[in-house]
Amino acid sequence: MPAQPPPPAAVPRRRWQKRFSPTLVRDRCYTRCFHSAGLRRVAVPLQDGAVVHLWLPPAATTGAAPLHPVLLLHGFGANATWQWAPFLRPLLAAGLAPYVPDLIFFGASSSPAADRSPAYQAACIAAAMSALPSAPQRYAVVGVSYGGFVAYHLAHAFPAAVERLVLVAAGVCLEDADLAAGLFAVEDIAEAASLLLPQRPEDLRRLVGLTFCHPPRFMPSCFIRDYIRVMCTDNVKEKTELLYALISSRKLSDLPKISQQTLIIWGEQDQVFPLELGLRLKRFIYSHLSSYLSLNDNPLSFGIQIQASGRYFRTSHSEECRSCHKP
């Protein structure tokens, strides 16, 4: 007589995890948000072998008013869909046409090049945008955290393309000496990498505690391990190299100057990039302009918006971004 099959409860744990993943479910929901908003996903191959995956805005309808193009650059802990899904419909309703790429080594974007600098990321994004059919000649750029570093270099290297700039909690003015000075919650780049690329539940819990003003009180370990498996195990080596290229030997005196109309948005209680970096960035941009603008000259406007929050912003905060994008 053949043996009876084991009950469903005896299904191996790993097999159950592959069949049900809360993180994958959320990932699919975010992707569905992009599709339902009318965005289209394309892959753009570049001359050096890099491939940039990005989402294009809905196709323009005949007779409709033209939308204002805006390039949205995600942060280090996310990809395009996870960062921007909650903001798509408010931005579309405001008359903006979002272009949303995955940065190199995030999502499906990749490159065989050894360059890990944010300047290289900016060059790849600019090349991908210019390669698009009916690509916009000029566009606004919004960069969050690491995406803000890329946005800044994009504005510097391609001033003819970048019309306006919004930097959200982007510590562009940091120096490697700030780590030793105790400005950050970490003491060196290796610790920063273990925090921003968590491979253990305790690392992810620490990251959540630093990035949210009011972190969730209860985070089941099974959900945390699932999130790490889905979101934090791809391209770990390359992303670690991105961090070293970003911070190592960084000096404010080496930061290039930009001239675009700029809005800086910061969380007052941000513990990843403290508010001091936002104020430092404002002083840096203003000092550059004041060196050649008289008091009566005002061709550009600069501002800083401080939110009484931590690192992550509510969807309603996109109003400041919208006002900066509109001509």
Convert the pLDDT of each residue in 250-260 to its tens digit: 999 999 999 89
Task: Quickly list DSSP for 238-250.
Answer: HHHHHHHHHHTT-
Measured CA to CA in angstroms, residue 289 lies from 263, 284, 292 at distances of 15, 9, 6
pLDDT for the residue 286: 77
**With 50 as the cut, is the pLDDT of residue 140 above it?**
yes
- Residue 298 pLDDT exceeds 80: no
Say how many C-beta atoms besides its own lie within 10 A of residue 229's C-beta.
Answer: 15
- State whether the Cα torsion 119-84-76-40 is positive or negative: negative
What's the pLDDT at 16? 43
> What pLDDT is recorded for position 271?
86
> What is the tens place of the pLDDT at every residue in 59-106?
877 667 788 999 999 999 889 999 999 999 999 999 999 999 999 999
Q: What is the pTM of this model?
A: 0.85
Angle at 23 between CA 21 and CA 24, to 5 degrees: 65
Q: State how far the alpha carbon of 29 is from the alpha carbons of 24, 32, 70, 82, 100, in Å.
A: 9, 5, 23, 10, 17
Cα separation, 236 vs 3, whole angstroms: 45
Task: Give the Cα separation of 283 and 280 in Å (integer).
Answer: 5
The model's pLDDT over 186-205, given as tens digits with 9 standing for 90+, comes to 888 999 999 999 999 999 99
Question: Average pLDDT, stretch 214-232?
Answer: 91
Q: Which amino acid is at 84?
A: W
Could you tell me the CATH number of the domain that includes residue 97?
Answer: 3.40.50.1820
d(CA 190, CA 253): 24
Q: Percent of the chain having pLDDT more than 70? A: 81
Q: What is the pLDDT of residue 42?
A: 97
Q: Mean pLDDT over residues 216-225, rounded?
A: 90
**Domain around 95:** 16-325
Asked if residue 120 belongs to a domain, the reply is yes
In a domain? residue 52 = yes
* Mean pLDDT of all residues belonging to the chain: 84
Domains held by the chain: number: 1
Q: Which of 55, 90, 60 is closest to 73 using CA atoms?
A: 55
Report how far residue 301's alpha carbon sits from residue 294's, in angstroms, rounded to the nearest whole number.
14
Residue 55 predicted with pLDDT over 70: yes
**Cβ proximity of 110 and 46 under 8 Å:** no
Domain-located, residue 28: yes
Q: What is the pLDDT of residue 62?
A: 64
Q: Token match 């970490």: residue?
A: 186
Under the banding of pLDDT at 50, 70 and 90, the label for residue 214 is confident
- Residue 107 falls inside a structural domain: yes
